[in-house]
Structure 1
């Protein structure tokens, strides 16, 4: 297992280096942020001085070399707009995004897996068809449209829930979070539901397919032949069989919830890192965009590593293949 982890860490370093090059060249080679950041009435000397202060007067390869050297020391650049370290801006906003993604994932898992299990056990009956048809809406409806409909129904028409902001914050183990207050939960419900809908539909389909596949396998037939109760067959044997792909997909989907929460955060004015990155793209704040993408890549790699370790714990065949 140790050799496996070390090899994955080395592969991760190569991936991060390659992504940093692609992201840096792709962002720094397009557009000129000085046109937005420098006063149009500034003189040529003032303009040249500002460009030099931003580091935009150097060749692209020199800028990338400086970025890599600073990144090794924990510095991912300084925001052009806010004049603060980019990593600080992102880390200040990231807890709100992680909070939203975590609640959305809990909703998706808590609803998607039971519904998928129920649909798979019912075969091609009316319950199965109803659940599968409902999951199609989760795949098909655009996230921004879902968000606007949730706002219109529950905030405008019914007036039950607020439509924007994070609400009152409380503390849990010294961490400020919306989960500690009732007002925070009221602000969190709508964006979390909007973010969870697609993932719920995905888990319904994945769980249903796994159950339908497992029910015809020999180990289930053998368990029934031994006289085991149906609840034990489903709850132990079938569920353990389908958990391997579900764990893999769930881990990757959590990374996607964090990375692609930008639409939901924009619709609900949720003060997370997704809204920050949208604002930074509009303002050509390159250091913040690059730092955000690097943080997201590092998060994906970490989640992948944890998923692989958990995968090998759930499936002994993976451990045997690793030993060979």
Structure 2
């Protein structure tokens, strides 16, 4: 395992370098932040002073080299707008996004697994067909529309839940978390469900397909021939063998949820990194944009490593030496 982790570490360094170059060039190409941050009435001397202060007067290759040098030391630059550390701004709002993403993943697993199992074990029943039909809606309905409908129904019409915001938070090891308070939990429900809807549908279909395939395998037939109860067959033999692809999807979707939580955070005014990214793009705050995207890359790398290690735990037939191929 140690050899595998070391190899993955060096692979990750290469991925980070390539992605950092692509991200840096991409952010550089979308526009000049000086045109937004400086008033049109500013003199050329004032413009030149601000450009020099931000380091934008340097050649692009030198800007990238300085970025790599500072990033290696843990400095992702300072925000053009706020004047503070870009990574500090992100880490300040990251707990809110992580809480929302974790709630969405938990909701996806809690609803998706049992519904998918039910549909897979009883594919011809009315309930199974209904579940699969509803899962298509989960794939099809746009996130922004679902979010607006949730607000209209549960906040405006029924008045059960707040329209947006994070609400009151509690502290756990110095980290503010909304689910620790009743008010924070009420604020969390709608955005978490909105973010989880696609993943619920995805897990339902994966679980159904895996369950139907597992039921035809010899080890399930042998378990039935031994007289094992259906509950044990499903819980031990079927569910355990279909967890590997589901864990892969759930883990990768966790990173995707964080990366693409922008729409949900904007609709529900959730104070996370997604909303910060939107605000930064509007003013072309390059350090914040680059720091956010690089953080997402690192998270995906770590998630993939964790998934490979979990493979060997769940299924001894899967070796880490094979996972690296």
Secondary structure at 2:319 match in 1: helix
* 1:287 corresponding residue in structure 2: 287
Q: Who is 2:75 aligned against?
A: 75
- CA–CA distance in structure 1, aligned partners of residues 25 and 72 of structure 2: 18
Equivalent residue number for residue 166 of structure 2: 166
Distance 1:14 1:28 in 2: 21
Give the whole-Å Cα distance in 2 for the aligned partners of 1:271 and 1:95.
10
RMSD: 1.3
Query: Contact between 1:178 and 1:185, CA under 8 Å: does it hold in 2?
Result: yes
Which residue does 1:138 correspond to in 2?
138
Is 1:157 equivalent to 2:162 in the alignment?
Answer: no
- The answer on whether the counterparts of 1:207 and 1:246 sit within 8 Å (CA) in structure 2 is yes
Deviation at 1:257, TM superposition (A): 1.1
Cα distance in 1 for residues equivalent to 2:212 and 2:37: 58
Please give the secondary structure, in 1, of the residue aligned with 2:162. coil
**Which secondary structure does the structure 2 equivalent of 1:162 belong to?**
coil
SS of aligned partner of 2:159: coil
Q: Secondary structure at the match of 1:318?
A: coil
- Report the CA distance between 1:308 and its aligned residue: 0.7
Q: What's the secondary structure of 2:176's corresponding residue? A: strand
Moved over 6 A (4+): none
Q: Secondary structure at the match of 2:318?
A: helix
SS at match of 1:239: helix
Would the aligned equivalents of 1:102 and 1:254 in 2 still touch at CA under 8 Å?
yes
Distance, in Å, in 1 between the alignment partners of 2:280 and 2:305 is 30
**1:271 positional shift:** 0.2
| Aligned residue number for residue 62 of structure 2 | 62
Cα distance in 1 for residues equivalent to 2:230 and 2:247 = 24
Aligned 1:131-280 pairs, distance under 5 A:
131-280=131-280
Partner residue in 1 for 2:50 = 50
Offset of 1:179 from its aligned partner? 1.4
Moved more, 311-320 or 240-249: 311-320
How many angstroms apart in 1 are the aligned matches of 2:172 and 2:92?
A: 17
Deviation at 1:173, TM superposition (A): 3.2
Aligned equivalent of 1:38: 38
1:149 and 1:201 map into 2 onto residues whose CA distance is 18
Shift of 1:320: 7.8
2:310 aligns with 310
Pairwise CA distance, 1:206: 0.3
SS in 1 for 2:74: coil
Where does the alignment leave 5 or more consecutive residues of structure 1 unmatched? none
- 2:312 touches 2:320 (CA, 8 Å); kept in 1? no
Contact in 2 for aligned 1:29/1:60 (Cα 8 Å) = no
| TM-superposed deviation, 1:152 | 0.4
Distance 1:131 1:211, change over 3 A: same
1:106 aligned residue: 106
CA contact (8 A) 1:280 1:289 kept: yes
Deviation at 1:195, TM superposition (A): 0.5
- Deviation, structure 1 residue 41: 1.6
1:76: Cα distance to partner?
0.6
TM-score between both structures, scaled by the size of structure 2? 0.97
* SS of aligned partner of 2:317: helix
Moved more, 165-174 or 251-260: 165-174
The alpha carbon displacement at 1:12 in A equals 0.9
Q: TM-score, normalised by structure 1?
A: 0.98
Match of 1:82, SS? coil
SS at match of 1:316: coil
Structure 1 residue 9, shift from structure 2 partner: 1.3
